[in-house]
Structure 1
Amino acid sequence: MPMDERKLDVLRAIVQDYVATQEPVGSKSLVERHNLRVSSATVRNDMAVLEDEGYIHQPHTSAGRVPTDKGYRLFVDRLSQVKPLTAAERRALHRFLDGALDLDDVVHRTVRLLAQLTRQVAVVQYPSLSRSRVRHLELVHLTDSRLMLVMITDTGRVEQRLVELPGPVAEADVLTIRRTVNEKLAGARLTETPRLIQSLVEEAAAELRPAMTNLSTVLLETLVERREERLALAGTANLTRHALDFAGSLRPILEALEEEVILLKLLGEVDTSAALHIRIGDENEIVGLRATSVVSAGYGPSGDVVGGLGVLGPTRMDYPGTIAAVRAVARYVGEVLAQN
């Protein structure tokens, strides 16, 4: 049965006070700090109901109450307002990212900025090759039988490969091959390229077909078979600011953060959607991260999601502020990529 607004107000107040103070919250302090417009006795009754339903619990006898994972989840699901970034934070975001020189710089500035804004651990995934489009392919004539292939994607990734040719190829023929390849592949999503690459060989003039065949093999390796994903991480030291939130030890969290596969999994839900994803406590499938919450979002140019970014911290997190920061940074990184 749906919870009434008064009990939701009590839960919101408990979450806000506990996040701010890290102290269990009692009915007396709630009435004093918040305009709940009800008596202490009513607040105590509401807290008893919230405890019976698993939204709050009493960490030890004669203490106040603290939110459970279920309580944080309801709080997040019923957030009516996300705390906007301050003017200073918005200026910092623009100033910090506008000065980026290339994709590596964009990613590393983004992850540092996100860690600073949220004071949590930040993770940023490089734009995925599989979700990018070909912007341009350059062929550099190194010797009569060797080329350098340079592929640039719409997300700023640059891939270089050597192409060994079966025999000497004139520079004029290299220019013809380059023009043909760009006409066929420029603007295509990388997942669409295999059939286009096959047609390059089939449609090539007889005298260029051996060279096109070798080039197509390298293209397939570069565009299709390359599955590596790269990540940037910052703010791990912020975990020590919340050491009391993690029962026992930070070790399981630190060990999990060392595994790239786990970090990619944290951002996995943002593969196809720019929508925000929030996993709280036991909602994390990775055992070592069940004392944490993860707030993540997809980013990319012109609404195309090409990668993910997010933050990880204790479940006692400033959710409105963290959500605002992740959303704003994801949106602005997409704008930066669209301009490059």
Structure 2
Amino acid sequence: MLDERKLSVLRAIVEDYVSTQEPVGSRSLVERHGLGVSPATVRNDMAALEEDGFIAQPHTSAGRIPTDKGYRLFVDRLAAVRSLSVPERRAIETFLDGAVDVDDVVQRSVRILAQLTHQIAIVQYPSLTRSSVRHVEIVAVEHNRLLLVLITSSGRVDQRIVELEAALDDDTLATLRTRVGTATIGQRLPEASARLLDIVDQFPPEHRGIVTLVVSALTEAFSDERSDERVAVGGTSNLAQFGADFDTSIKPVLEALEEHVVLLKLLGEATSPTMLTVRIGSEVPYQELTTTSVVATGYGTEDEPLANLGIMGPTRMDYPATIASVRAVARYVGRTLDET
């Protein structure tokens, strides 16, 4: 374990290198950070940090830069995450409050996250298998047509028309609406689909054909997996300012952005909005992306995480600010979807 002074030196090296992109020397550390010790003492601490693999010298006569191990310790020992400013929080809230549906929320989220972090933002669409039924409405719109409206906990709205061979009387329609609601509201979509099948036999034979049509349409809506493997990506242009951070080429990063399966794996499994992961360099599960870091968290509610969002960028990033932005956007996205 490092003592507090060496941790302070490591912290100062990380902060300076992130800010300047230049290897950091002992004299500049003393001048900029008021460490309270001489440059010679700082050099000794830097030698110990280098021996332990936390910093490295990119070339002879240069200062030192953090290694993946150094960044990892820096992140693990963060005393506090930088709070977002009032204008930043207001910008997130105002921008997301104007969203009209799930697609709009996701697209707005990826844009604001890229703007705040100056990194590549990745937002996974809410997983239907994790969503539950918030509301189902069945409305007679014409003599032989029913409009089915599904609203899920993720804010998704699905409307479907069912063509009938004969009209339903008002009492049967009211009974159908009640039994569908009782079977599905509050249930996760897979469970709701299974419970719907049980209501067909609750109706007299002359109505079961119509009820079956309605149940089939709703079951199809519940199992529609169009959004489960979708992600939105924003801020790709931010790569231009970090070209030197990706060794010889940013091509592997650009290729990864075209593969949604890769991006989903980078974000990980949505477990809880209170859990945030930071994977640095070699911790990223793709050999081609070992010059990057990924900061990700879930969004939704603690009891019902819907999906993940996060950022990908070079290992040389402002981790405290990035973590704060990812957490804040996830919190606002979860709240916005709950109110949509």
TM-score (norm 2): 0.92
CA contact (8 A) 1:295 1:312 kept: yes
CA contact (8 A) 2:293 2:315 kept: yes
Tell me, in whole angstroms, the C-alpha distance in 2 between the residues paired with 1:63 and 1:152.
60
Tell me, in whole angstroms, the C-alpha distance in 2 between the residues paired with 1:67 and 1:223.
49
The reply on whether 1:86 has 2:85 as its aligned counterpart is: yes
* Aligned counterparts, 1:183-198, within 5 A: 183-198=182-197
Q: Find the counterpart in structure 2 of residue 119 from structure 1.
A: 118
Which amino acid in the other structure matches residue 118 of structure 1? T
Bigger drift between 96-105 and 57-66 goes to: 96-105
Which amino acid in the other structure matches residue 329 of structure 1? V
Which amino acid in the other structure matches residue 207 of structure 2? L
Bigger drift between 211-220 and 26-35 goes to: 211-220
Tell me, in whole angstroms, the C-alpha distance in 1 between the residues paired with 2:221 and 2:231.
19
Q: Find the counterpart in structure 2 of residue 61 from structure 1.
A: 60
Shift of 1:161: 4.1
Which amino acid in the other structure matches residue 168 of structure 1? A
Q: Find the counterpart in structure 2 of residue 181 from structure 1.
A: 180
Q: Percent of pairs identical after alignment? A: 56
Shift of 1:303: 5.6
Q: Find the counterpart in structure 2 of residue 238 from structure 1.
A: 238
Which amino acid in the other structure matches residue 57 of structure 1? A
Q: Find the counterpart in structure 1 of residue 38 from structure 2.
A: 39
Tell me, in whole angstroms, the C-alpha distance in 2 between the residues paired with 1:176 and 1:85.
51
Tell me, in whole angstroms, the C-alpha distance in 1 between the residues paired with 2:302 and 2:268.
20
Tell me, in whole angstroms, the C-alpha distance in 2 between the residues paired with 1:122 and 1:178.
41
Bigger drift between 15-24 and 287-296 goes to: 287-296
Q: Find the counterpart in structure 2 of residue 290 from structure 1.
A: 290
Tell me, in whole angstroms, the C-alpha distance in 1 between the residues paired with 2:267 and 2:99.
23
SS at 2:274's partner residue? coil
Q: Find the counterpart in structure 1 of residue 327 from structure 2.
A: 327
Which amino acid in the other structure matches residue 311 of structure 1? I
Shift of 1:301: 4.5
Shift of 1:202: 3.5
SS at 2:223's partner residue? helix
Tell me, in whole angstroms, the C-alpha distance in 1 between the residues paired with 2:214 and 2:40.
78
Q: 2:166 aligns with which of 165, 168, 179?
A: 168
Q: Find the counterpart in structure 2 of residue 23 from structure 1.
A: 22
Tell me, in whole angstroms, the C-alpha distance in 1 between the residues paired with 2:272 and 2:146.
35
Q: Find the counterpart in structure 1 of residue 277 from structure 2.
A: 277
Q: Find the counterpart in structure 1 of residue 217 from structure 2.
A: 218
Q: Find the counterpart in structure 2 of residue 308 from structure 1.
A: 308
Shift of 1:72: 0.4
Shift of 1:327: 0.8
Task: Report the CA distance shift for 1:231/1:6 in structure 2 as closer, same or farther (over 3 A).
Answer: same
Shift of 1:44: 1.2
Q: What is the number of residues matched between the two proteins?
A: 338
CA contact (8 A) 1:140 1:147 kept: yes
Which digits, 9 at most, give the CA deviation of each residue in 1:85-121, with x for residues without a partner? 1122122122212222232222221111111111111
SS at 1:306's partner residue? strand
SS at 1:60's partner residue? coil
CA contact (8 A) 2:299 2:305 kept: yes
Gaps in structure 2 of 5+ consecutive residues: none
CA contact (8 A) 1:131 1:305 kept: yes
Task: Report the CA distance shift for 1:152/1:33 in structure 2 as closer, same or farther (over 3 A).
Answer: same
The alignment's C-alpha RMSD in Å is 2.1
Bigger drift between 151-160 and 18-27 goes to: 151-160
Tell me, in whole angstroms, the C-alpha distance in 1 between the residues paired with 2:159 and 2:292.
39
CA contact (8 A) 1:141 1:171 kept: no
Task: Report the CA distance shift for 1:221/1:23 in structure 2 as closer, same or farther (over 3 A).
Answer: same
Tell me, in whole angstroms, the C-alpha distance in 1 between the residues paired with 2:273 and 2:330.
12
Which amino acid in the other structure matches residue 46 of structure 1? D
